[in-house]
Amino acid sequence: MLRYLPLLLVLALWIYAFIDCLNTPEEQVRGLPKVIWVIVILLFGEVLVGPVAWLIAGKVRPAPGTGPTRFVAPDDNPEFLKSLNPDDKGNTGNKEKKDDAG
């Protein structure tokens, strides 16, 4: 069973690189056109040249610290807290219904 592990790892890397290349927008692809990268990954995937080349040189990677902003919990998010304010003009919730029933 252990002799199949390298084959499975190569197959997993091959599939990952292929799907990553397909999902990458054209403007984030470096070096070659996206179609050529797909062909390189498919033709040279078995010897790991294609997938490794894609992961190293094919895609623009964001620099550390420039990625998405940190998640803010709803109780710390000022925009969310403003949406809970009943005096807000944009709130068309239960307040108007209570006034009509009263």
The pLDDT value recorded for residue 98 is: 53
Which residues does 44 contact at the CB level (< 8 Å), separation at least 6? 50, 53
Residue 87, classified by CB atoms within 10 Å of its CB into exposed (0-12), middle (13-18) or buried (19+), is: exposed
CA 74 – CA 67 distance, rounded (Å) = 21
The percentage of residues in the chain with a pLDDT greater than 70, rounded to a whole number, is 76
- Where is pLDDT greater, at 43 or 97? 43
The pLDDT assigned to 99 comes to 54
Confidence of residue 48 (pLDDT cuts 50, 70, 90): confident
Examine the pLDDT at 5 and tell me if it is beyond 60: yes
